[in-house]
Amino acid sequence: MSIKRLPTDSVVLVVEDDALVRLCAAEMLEDAGFSVVEACDADEAWDILHDRYDIAVLFTDIDMPGSMDGVILAARVHATWPDIRLILTSGRHRLADREVPDHGLFVSKPYNGSQVVEAIGQAV
């Protein structure tokens, strides 16, 4: 069942289990003018998504501890909130954009701020 979200500015949910990488990603996005919410794994991100209605973009790592990885999280987000744009990242896996649920985007690690901002600009 799809849950409709309210129109919003681009709030980005950054999901990354490595605290330093998460902090750097959040700072890059904030410096680019985005509002950022952080989660340390997919389970925490799922809880945040149920509590907030202003998330416009999910930027998630693929490999994380917990009950689901970033690909499963992205698929569940797409099924529940199809208006949230999806961007996946990994240093281990390489996905074609067409392999990301909802035809989202993939950004390979290590990434720089301009790559992530450009991906978000394409996704929104």
Structure tokens at 24: 């750097």
CATH number of the domain bearing residue 57:
3.40.50.2300
The answer as to whether 33 is a domain residue is yes
Residue 32's alpha-carbon distances to 4, 7, 108, 111, 116, in angstroms, are 27, 20, 19, 15, 10
Convert the pLDDT of each residue in 17-69 to its tens digit.
999 999 999 999 999 889 999 999 999 999 999 999 999 999 999 999 999 99
Q: Is 68 part of a structural domain of the chain?
A: yes
Q: Which amino acid is at 88?
A: L
- Asked, for residue 2, whether it belongs to a domain, the answer is no
Tally of residues, the chain: 124
Rounded Cα distance, 106 and 67, in Å: 22
